[in-house]
Amino acid sequence: MIRWYFGFALLVLAFLAGAYITREYFKSAENRVVNETAVVIAEKFTDVMKLVAVEGHFSEIYTYEDYVGWSWFPLRKKALVRVDAKVSAGFDLEFMCLVIDDDSRTVYLSQPPPPSILSIDHNLQYYDISQGAFNVFSASDYNHINAKAKENISIAALSDGTLLKKASLQMYHIIDGLESGLNSIGWNLEFTPMEPALDEFYGPELVSVQRVN
């Protein structure tokens, strides 16, 4: 009988201790103070001539696992990440040339470059992170996961081919609209594989020149 009372008393004490610890935890959570500091520095601005023709949205489930020797919990770190990305594809117009011939009422446009991926905006959501006592995550691990997730999105966007095909089709529609607009005012649009012959032709400059026979 004494043992029964003693066991019951221990059970009650354990329950009260658990209730006290839980209450103190939530109390401390309510009084928690988070300090955050951010310093944003504008380092460099660069002029670009890029045309975004199409955007694609991709989702990825990325699993990262690292261990040495044995895949045993104390020696293993693992993360399950969902990646949502917006991939912009289009054209870099930096080396395109546009020349206007007033005499022949013709606009000469160099062939546009092939489409490419211009930017990838991605967001990572960590669904599960586990790490062992002897193998923990570091800042370099998170940087690696971020870079690898972005690389996987880029590879998927390029291997699929749909994004770049849509970008090419969009460029075709843009040029077709430009040609129709020029024809409506009595001008012509011609493509040429010309290379810039004058300094003022470098870059996507709008230049008016006399016709050279």
Strands (E), the chain: 50-67, 76-92, 98-101, 106-110, 116-131, 188-192, 206-209
Q: What percent of the chain has pLDDT over 70?
A: 69
Residues 6+ apart with CB under 8 A from 28: none
List the end-to-end C-alpha distance of the chain, in Å, as a whole number: 118
Residue, of 111 and 120, whose pLDDT is higher: 120
For 10-29, write each residue's pLDDT tens digit. 565 666 666 556 565 555 54
Give residue 184's pLDDT: 92
Give residue 211's pLDDT: 36
> What are the tokens at 22?
């839980």
Question: Taking the domains of the chain in order of start, what are their residue ranges?
Answer: 47-209
Among 14-28, 119-133, 153-167, 180-194, which range has the highest average pLDDT?
153-167
Give residue 108's pLDDT: 87
**pTM of the predicted model, to two decimals?**
0.68
What gap in Å lies between CA 207 and CA 6, rounded to an integer? 98
Residue closest to 84 by CA, chosen among 120, 123, 54, 118: 123
Residue, of 150 and 212, whose pLDDT is higher: 150
Q: What is the average pLDDT value for the chain, to the nearest integer?
A: 77
**Radius of gyration of the CA atoms of the chain, in A:** 31
